[in-house]
Amino acid sequence: TQKTLTIIPITVGYSWSDAPDCGTNLGWRKNNNICYYHNDTDIVDFHTAMTRCYHEKASLVSIHSGDEQAYVNTMVDLELPTWIGLSDILLENHSYSWTDGWPVFFTQWGPGEPSNIKDEGCVSVHASRAFHGTWNDTRCDQAKPYVCKISSG
């Protein structure tokens, strides 16, 4: 008697698929024709994170909706705050801008943020359970993991 095994893929939440067209290294994930890479082993300052993404033909992640923020949150470790591509160091008037040039029309600041304390010009995603997924302005010289982003297709 011959038996047939049927596998039915089930996706709950976000559709994570390997995306070999999304960068030179393994670990890139595609969601809605956008590729993301969360590097949680290379703990670096904001400027180095920007450079590392650039070498992948990517930018630090810019986030444009609650859905995209939720997707990024699934990649971010609850133990480590993680760089995103928002800062107030790129423009002369010190207003916040994305490192990839996209306009800022979505924000998810944590309570009391941005606090604009001296030298806090770069933005990371909070890692704590209480504030997970909200944003914090922080010093650019702090070492953190980071998320890169490129459009695919």
Query: In 3-state terms, what secondary structure has residue 71?
Result: helix
Pair 37, 28: CB distance under 8 Å? yes
Q: Is the pLDDT of residue 94 over 80?
A: no
CA distance 111 to 30: 30
Whether residue 114 has a cis bond before it, omega within 30° of 0: yes
Closest CA to 77 of 24, 28, 138, 124: 124
pLDDT in tens, 99-140: 998 899 999 999 999 998 888 999 999 887 778 889 999 999
45: Cβ–Cβ under 8 A, 6 or more apart, which residues?
140, 141, 142, 143, 144
Delineate the domains of the chain, giving CATH numbers in brackets: 17-151 (3.10.100.10)
Taken as a whole, the chain contains a residue count of 153
pLDDT in tens, 43-93: 999 999 999 999 988 999 999 999 999 999 988 877 889 999 999 987 767
Residue whose pair of structure tokens reads 């930018």 in the numeric block: 59
- The radius of gyration of the chain from alpha carbons, rounded to an integer in Å, stands at 17
Pairing of strands 135-139, 97-98: unpaired
User: CB count, 10 Å around CB of 95?
Assistant: 9
